[in-house]
């Protein structure tokens, strides 16, 4: 009987088509692309429009991006005004794929009104609401749980045949996020409370700050599109001296010169490079979201820690 069943199974398999092509997914930037890969596994082929070490705020889409979107079977965006260029690009490309807004349902925090200078920075960022919301919601692990659920549901809808695999990979990834969050809380707890102050180029760690209790101060607002004014820079230098802020950090997507000037004039140390809006390339220290968060944590702990 077992043999007959096996034979039946073999016959059935013989009638199935060869392994299906992976679903073509397009994510707007590298962090999101990594989350889609984590949930999609081999069932999804992911393309990121904005690559590693690049700035999605001020991105200028190319004609090739338009063709990539037109071919997509699912499009995953951050939302919250992060990719001010995406709506028009999707329209222009004629893409028919469903668009998943990964941040849907996260508790948002407001942008910094002090930095909303109301500039129009040309066609690339003109439609971005800019400082209405802080778009960097992925800097809180709790929010990334929501991202992962939205990505899982979006993939399952676009590709129901693999829904179980998406669900299985998403729950495995959620367990990794739990471990990551525990490690973040432990590392911050080991930093003396009076050292829990950090300067970064642009205000990209608001969600990290709200979730884990490290204070971030930045001369630029929540978008890199508006430049820091000499007044902003002067204010930060005075604040560093007054509050004895131990370290300033370079962001990989930002010009290092502003932070170097601030370090020089305030006497604060440069605490290394942190990843706010982008992963590193595959050979760098932050090729995935999990590695990025751990890399930033190491940089903060090393510069601010007790010893
Ligand atoms: Zn940013």
Say what the pLDDT of residue 132 is: 85
Say what the pLDDT of residue 118 is: 38
Pull the structure tokens for residue 69: 């979107």
How far away, in angstroms, is 143 Cα from ligand 1 center? 16
Answer with the residue of higher pLDDT: 1 or 208: 208
How far away, in angstroms, is 121 Cα from ligand 1 center? 15
109-154: pLDDT as tens digits: 998 655 543 333 333 333 344 468 999 999 999 999 999 999 999 9
How far away, in angstroms, is 223 Cα from ligand 1 center? 5
Where do the domains of the chain lie, and which CATH numbers do they carry?
Answer: 18-178 (3.40.50.1980), 185-304 (3.40.50.1980)
Q: Which of 47, 45, 43, 46 is nearest to 20 (CA)?
A: 43
How far away, in angstroms, is 122 Cα from ligand 1 center? 18
Say what the pLDDT of residue 124 is: 36
Pull the structure tokens for residue 227: 């430049």
Tally the residues of the chain: 307
Check: pTM over 0.95? Answer yes or no.
no
How far away, in angstroms, is 307 Cα from ligand 1 center? 31
In this prediction, what percent of the chain has a pLDDT beyond 90? Answer: 78
d(CA 107, CA 124): 27
Say what the pLDDT of residue 113 is: 58
Say what the pLDDT of residue 127 is: 37
How far away, in angstroms, is 201 Cα from ligand 1 center? 9
Say what the pLDDT of residue 18 is: 56
> How far is CA 264 from its chain centroid?
30
How far away, in angstroms, is 153 Cα from ligand 1 center? 26
What count of other Cβ atoms lies within 10 Å of the Cβ of residue 305?
A: 13
How far away, in angstroms, is 293 Cα from ligand 1 center? 15
How far away, in angstroms, is 135 Cα from ligand 1 center? 7
What count of other Cβ atoms lies within 10 Å of the Cβ of residue 233?
A: 17
Q: Which residues pair with 235 in a beta bridge?
A: none
How far away, in angstroms, is 195 Cα from ligand 1 center? 24
How far away, in angstroms, is 221 Cα from ligand 1 center? 9
């Amino acid at each position: 009987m077992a043999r007959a069943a096996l034979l039946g199974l073999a016959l059935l398999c013989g009638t199935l088509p060869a392994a299906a092509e992976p679903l073509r997914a397009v994510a707007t930037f590298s962090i999101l692309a990594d989350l889609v890969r984590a949930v999609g596994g081999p069932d999804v082929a992911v393309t990121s429009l904005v690559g590693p070490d690049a700035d999605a705020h001020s991105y200028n889409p190319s004609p090739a991006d338009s063709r990539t979107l037109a071919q997509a079977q699912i499009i995953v965006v951050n939302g919250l005004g992060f990719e001010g260029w995406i709506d028009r690009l999707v329209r222009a490309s004629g893409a028919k794929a469903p668009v998943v807004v990964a941040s849907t349902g996260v508790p948002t925090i407001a942008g910094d009104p002090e930095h909303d200078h109301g500039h129009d920075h040309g066609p690339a960022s003109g439609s971005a609401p800019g400082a209405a919301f802080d778009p960097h919601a992925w800097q809180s692990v709790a929010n990334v749980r929501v991202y992962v659920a939205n990505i899982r549901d979006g993939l399952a809808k676009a590709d129901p045949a693999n829904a179980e695999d998406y669900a299985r990979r998403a729950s495995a990834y959620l367990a990794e996020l739990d471990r990551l969050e525990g490690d973040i809380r432990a590392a911050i707890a080991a930093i003396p409370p009076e050292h829990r102050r950090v300067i970064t180029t642009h205000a990209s760690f608001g969600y990290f700050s709200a979730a884990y209790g490290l204070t971030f101060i930045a001369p630029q607002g929540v978008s890199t599109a508006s430049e820091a004014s000499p007044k902003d820079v002067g204010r930060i230098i005075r604040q560093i001296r007054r509050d004895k802020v131990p370290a300033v950090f370079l962001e990989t997507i930002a010009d290092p010169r502003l932070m170097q000037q601030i370090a020089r004039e305030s006497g604060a140390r440069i605490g290394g490079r942190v990843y706010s809006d982008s992963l590193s390339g595959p050979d760098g220290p932050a090729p995935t979201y999990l590695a990025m968060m751990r890399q930033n944590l190491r940089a903060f702990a090393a510069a601010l820690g007790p010893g």
